[in-house]
Structure 1
């Protein structure tokens, strides 16, 4: 798979497609029928944007997972700059895999400090689908390459990573029937 190149943006190779088992149909039924407040709270754990969560909650029921994920993507693409700022403010650094050595913690802390100083928010990257032993290298390569972006370019890349994170978290919540 070759990386997608965006003019003026540092491209990160796309991750392999998810090969996990999709959520059960009953998980989607629960999502569609659960009380709106409960669904909204679950959605806010996927993406820290009330507008995104409200939109997905209000458009229920979804006939299938693909429809829900398409609605999630569309709502993420429609985030305003203020919505994006709010969603980014709710993000934290990904947890390092068990057994990561001390130098990795130091490297990530230093790179994230530089990133936050330049862009004013936590670095976000979707590591879904990567083997735990590949996640750290992908994270460090991503943050180092994205530090070369200007703030506007980085907002575009960060918004795309948030969309991918929201999608992965939504599938994970449905799989775990977190409703």
Structure 2
């Protein structure tokens, strides 16, 4: 009996393009928690290439209203260190993140997919500490870009 093969990127994009609206929206909401963003991308299917989907996702991300961004941020989870991380580092992360949430009103968002996994702990903690000095307006701009980058990475995993 033949083993089922993993779908090729074009197969997965095709599956996304032909999925029922509710399934496509649910998949997109796992990438970005803005319902308006997910509906917009779903409405514009089919996408001929992954690059076309990513371009549409970027455009929709740049058009997020304040309420859309708040909705997307409310769906994000606080960063955590992997199991086995030094307890002191975990405590430092929780404390820094609590200060960040108190200052900005939402979880810390950063796309670190391009970085080595053994550096993630330091990048997250250093990122929180560095961005605590931002004004709320500057941090909002940083968060928009980080969420866009994070959403792109999630979309790539979804369709490739």
In structure 2, C-alpha distance between the alignment counterparts of 1:43 and 1:94, rounded to whole Å: 21
Aligned to 1:111: 96
Larger radius of gyration: 2
1:123 paired to 2:113: no
In the superposition, the TM-score normalised over structure 2's length comes to 0.92
Aligned to 1:54: 39
Runs of at least 5 residues in structure 2 that lack an aligned partner in the other structure: 1-7
Runs of at least 5 residues in structure 1 that lack an aligned partner in the other structure: 1-22
**1:41-86 deviations in whole A, cap 9, x for unaligned?**
0100100000110011000011101000000111001000111111
Mapped contact 2:50–2:159 kept (Cα < 8 A): no
Q: Stretches of 4+ moved more than 4 A in 1? A: none
In the superposition, the TM-score normalised over structure 1's length comes to 0.83
Mapped contact 1:97–1:133 kept (Cα < 8 A): no
User: Which structure would you say has the larger RCO, counting Cα contacts within 8 Å and 6 or more residues apart?
Assistant: 1
CA RMSD of aligned residues (A): 1.1
In structure 1, C-alpha distance between the alignment counterparts of 2:88 and 2:140, rounded to whole Å: 28
Secondary structure class of the residue paired with 1:125: coil
Aligned pairs for 1:24-173 (under 5 A) are 24-173=9-158
Question: What is the CA distance between 1:172 and its match in structure 2?
Answer: 1.2
Question: What is the CA distance between 1:127 and its match in structure 2?
Answer: 1.3
**1:102-125 deviations in whole A, cap 9, x for unaligned?**
011101101100001100111111
Aligned to 1:17: none
Q: Count how many residue pairs are aligned between Structure 1 and Structure 2.
A: 153
